[in-house]
Amino acid sequence: MAESGTLTRADLSEKLHGRIGLPRSQCAALVEQVIAHMCHALADGENVKISGFGTFVLRDKAERIGRNPKSGIEVPIAPRRVLTFRASQTLRDRIVEAD
């Protein structure tokens, strides 16, 4: 894993190369295909569930009134679609064990 503590696409493909022995270019392409498939599914309005990891859920938020904290003026916040992630219980348990 990278020194910054962030898992990157390159880290994933390198790990895949080490585990199954495919050439690095094929591993990188495989990682890209999986990510692209997830992105297309989310763009089409589908939720993405990865067993043992978690679920990416799209939510539609309604328009609401917000307040500018500096001036106190009320402003409308437009309706929007947001992406949330909910970790599976398996992932939560593994994170707690790591502490």
pLDDT, tens digit, for every residue of 25-68?
Answer: 999 999 999 999 999 999 999 999 999 999 999 999 999 999 99
Question: For residue 51, what are the CA distances in angstroms to 4, 59, 90?
Answer: 27, 20, 9
Residue 3: per-residue pLDDT: 58
Is 61 found in the same domain as 17?
no
Can you tell me whether residue 79 is helix, strand or coil? coil
The continuous run of DSSP H or E covering 28 comes out as helix 24-43
Q: pLDDT averaged over the chain?
A: 92
Is 6 found in the same domain as 54?
no
Which range marks the domain in which residue 65 is found?
47-99
Residue 97: per-residue pLDDT: 81
**Is residue 1 predicted with pLDDT exceeding 60?**
no
Is 6 found in the same domain as 38?
yes
Alpha carbon of residue 51 to chain centroid: 14
Q: For 57-98, what is each residue's pLDDT tens digit?
A: 999 999 999 999 999 999 999 999 999 999 999 999 998 887
- pTM of structure: 0.76
